[in-house]
Structure 1
Amino acid sequence: MGTAPRTAVIGAGTRITSWLAHPRLLLAIKTAIAVGLAWVLAHLVPGVADEYPYYAPLGALISVSPTLMSSVKRGAQTLAALAIGILLAGAIILFWEPNVFTISLVVGIGVLIAGSRWLTAGGEYVAVAALFVLIIGGQDADDYSIGYLVQMGVGIAVGLGVNLLILPPLNTSAAVLRLAEFRSLLSDHLHDIGKALVESWPPEHEDWAGRSGTLVDTADRVREAVGQADESRKLNPRAKLHRRDLEKDYEDLTDLETMTFHVRDLTEVLAAAIWKSPIHAEVPQVLREPLSDTIHAVADVLTMRNAGEEIGEGVAAAEAALRVLLARLDQQRDLDPSSLSPAATAAMDLRRMLAIMQESAMAADA
């Protein structure tokens, strides 16, 4: 087999493996198993509930969620919502009669209740249950209500059981990966700025100037990933086998978010100084190289952190580069202050980022 076909086969194999390992596929498989099992068990439920087996698969479908904790919350809140909806429908049957006005009224009340803080998941079933009882239950509203609630409960129990027994999701690896990607993005961004500062002036390399929004969006996605990892540990027996200090991950995320603020400030200040006319102030030639060196040194610390290396030496090198930059700034006091302000502001941002890195290095050594 030639090189090209072999590469194509390897690439296809990698894509298939990645697809098979995707959390969404596992969720789909577990949901399918839960729905099928719920349908089988629904026909074994005694009493009037046996007449409404189709609600068990619906309960299973509802309860299988990406994490065990979300499954428990959604299942419990859905059952609570069903009970409330059935009670609302029961009040209509006892004190009035189902008609256009009362059905509309009970649905409106159900929608209001669904918006409460303690029915964050499954709340929509308040109105659904009330509507089904009044319209489908009809003269057999009592039996229908019992069958509906019992079979949904059976399905939810099956869904929770399947989610617990078949590889309960643990998303800590995804959080670690997102944190590493975030560091890489910040590091690459800083390196891009450092390179631009020593290009021909004004720099032609300006992709970094419009990347602030990407940094913010990435920070939001990383926080979401860490939050999902934290939730995936709750009630999860696999968490005992795969221990991870998520408190440390939250601390790392907070540090990166704070650094992102300073990186964005540094980016906007330098971009405005170079290209935006209202506050145009060219960074003096004598300051560009030490500023570039400091930015590269700070970026190198992030790269070292991602590689699992001790960052103490990297932080020390960045501090040394910053001292050179500050000394060079002190030597330019005879220049117009407006021409020094962009570099001085950038130096302050870099100093603050280094302070965060110093704390991280000290915490790692403790």
Structure 2
Amino acid sequence: MRSCLPLSTAGSFPDDLRHRMRLAWRAGAATAAAWYLATLVPGVVGDYPYYAPMGALLVCYPTVVDSLRQSLRALTATAVGVGLGAAAVHAAGATWWGVALAVVLGMALGALPYLAPQRDTVPLAALFTILVGAVDPTGFMAGYLGQTLLGVAVGILVTVVLPPPPQNGRASRRVTRLRDGIADHLHEMAAVLAEQWPPEREEWIRHRHDFEPLIDATREAVVAADSGRRANLRARSYRIRGQQLYEAAQTLEQLAVLVRDISTVLAQTAWAERTVLVLDPDLRRPVADAMSGLATAVGSADLLHLARGPESPDGDTHTRNLAAARDSLDRVTERLDGAAAGWEDSLAASGIVLHLRRCLDHVQAGPSDRSPDLHPAAG
């Protein structure tokens, strides 16, 4: 069994750094190209070349679709800020209260839903207009807006010509991490059941709280991978893979909820004086075997298995693990059916076995409440 590190943080930094560096290379190329072209622009617009790389940077987002969406917002926010700054210069000149008024209004307008992603651009553009363009507001407005438009165009062109690869690898690693976390926790609970009861160690109880942040991280990575496919010339062949990642993440999310419930029931049975739930000593070892068998089956499931892909061949390792886990559950069910203990002693075991069987069904059949296809349209 792998060591049970905190599920929410294990291994996430390398993925985030790799993803950020891809964005950094594109941003560097876009700003450099924008600066070079800006220095070639003649007339009054060419007097303000430094706003072109700023415009390029405003539209450098992780996906092509986000860059296209934010380009209009960036231009609108810049134009609004420049307009505020020009109005402040006309009304009060480059004075302290003119600066305060422009910033207050710019911050307020940045709260509009359409401008919210570029909320900081509005007051900054107003400040630049007052502090830099007070001598020649008209020329400054033409230069600022013209160079920003040039930078935005260059940023979009670089993003379209050099699009980032879809983040399927990152999403796949998050899916694998969630799968391994579920398998590890099942193995850990099986080991606890096989030890002296009630268990002496308690760290396994806290691990059930680690699933929520990892589920959120997996969901975010899968959605980001799908967003990276749209309008991306490099991603036409990634459609099926993205759907498989989505379905695998959905299956694992359902598994995580069930495993967390199992952990809660098991924790309650460890201190019988606090609950009516108790666990018949004769059932602990069979339940532990069934739990361990399910953990092995979960750990051997790949992306296609979790996404309810084509059935595996009979000799496949995962198929054998599924069959062994089901046999273990059947044996526990037979023990429960023939148990002489009262309902209080078998209630906890029955609940745990029911959840284990539901987990096994999810692993074998994929997401039971399948959401609509992420990519209903062709292409």
Shorter-chain TM-score tier: 0.7 to 0.9
Instruction: Map 1:187-266; keep pairs closer than 5 Å.
Output: 187-204=183-200, 206-266=202-262
Shift of 1:308: 5.7
Does residue 135 in structure 1 map to residue 131 in structure 2? yes
Provide the rounded CA distance (Å) in 2 between the counterparts of 1:314 and 1:136.
70
* Gap change, CA 1:361 and 1:104, over 3 Å in 2: closer
Instruction: Map 1:1-40; keep pairs closer than 5 Å.
Output: 22-40=18-36
Does residue 318 in structure 1 map to residue 325 in structure 2? yes
* Gap change, CA 1:113 and 1:339, over 3 Å in 2: farther
Instruction: Map 1:257-276; keep pairs closer than 5 Å.
Output: 257-275=253-271
Shift of 1:265: 1.0
Shift of 1:246: 2.1
Residue equivalent to 1:327: 334
**Secondary structure of the equivalent of 1:132?**
helix
Residue equivalent to 1:10: none
The answer as to whether partners of 2:178 and 2:215 remain within 8 angstroms in 1 is yes
TM-score scaled by structure 1? 0.83
Number of equivalences: 344
Does residue 341 in structure 1 map to residue 336 in structure 2? no
* Gap change, CA 1:323 and 1:131, over 3 Å in 2: same
Percent of pairs identical after alignment? Answer: 32
Provide the rounded CA distance (Å) in 1 between the counterparts of 2:126 and 2:367.
59
Name structure 2 gaps, 5 residues minimum. Answer: 1-13, 306-311, 313-317, 370-379
The answer as to whether partners of 2:276 and 2:344 remain within 8 angstroms in 1 is no
Does residue 97 in structure 1 map to residue 124 in structure 2? no
* Gap change, CA 1:354 and 1:156, over 3 Å in 2: same
Match of 1:56 among 52, 59, 68: 52
* Gap change, CA 1:300 and 1:361, over 3 Å in 2: farther
* One-letter amino acid of the counterpart of residue 134, structure 1: I
Provide the rounded CA distance (Å) in 2 between the counterparts of 1:28 and 1:276.
56
Residue equivalent to 2:360: 354
Provide the rounded CA distance (Å) in 2 between the counterparts of 1:24 and 1:361.
32
The answer as to whether partners of 1:133 and 1:145 remain within 8 angstroms in 2 is yes
**Secondary structure of the equivalent of 1:201?**
coil
Q: Deviations over 1:6-31 (max 9, x none)?
A: xxxxxxxxxxxx89x93333333332
Residue equivalent to 1:119: 115
TM-score scaled by structure 2? 0.81
The answer as to whether partners of 2:89 and 2:98 remain within 8 angstroms in 1 is no
* One-letter amino acid of the counterpart of residue 39, structure 2: H
The answer as to whether partners of 1:184 and 1:306 remain within 8 angstroms in 2 is no
* Gap change, CA 1:157 and 1:313, over 3 Å in 2: same
* Gap change, CA 1:114 and 1:276, over 3 Å in 2: farther
After superposition, the CA RMSD in angstroms is: 2.9
* Gap change, CA 1:215 and 1:112, over 3 Å in 2: same
Task: Name the one with the larger helix percent.
Answer: 1
Provide the rounded CA distance (Å) in 1 between the counterparts of 2:31 and 2:102.
30
Q: Deviations over 1:8-66 (max 9, x none)?
A: xxxxxxxxxx89x9333333333222222222111111221111011112222332222
Instruction: Map 1:62-101; keep pairs closer than 5 Å.
Output: 62-92=58-88, 96-98=91-93, 99-101=95-97
**Secondary structure of the equivalent of 2:181?**
helix
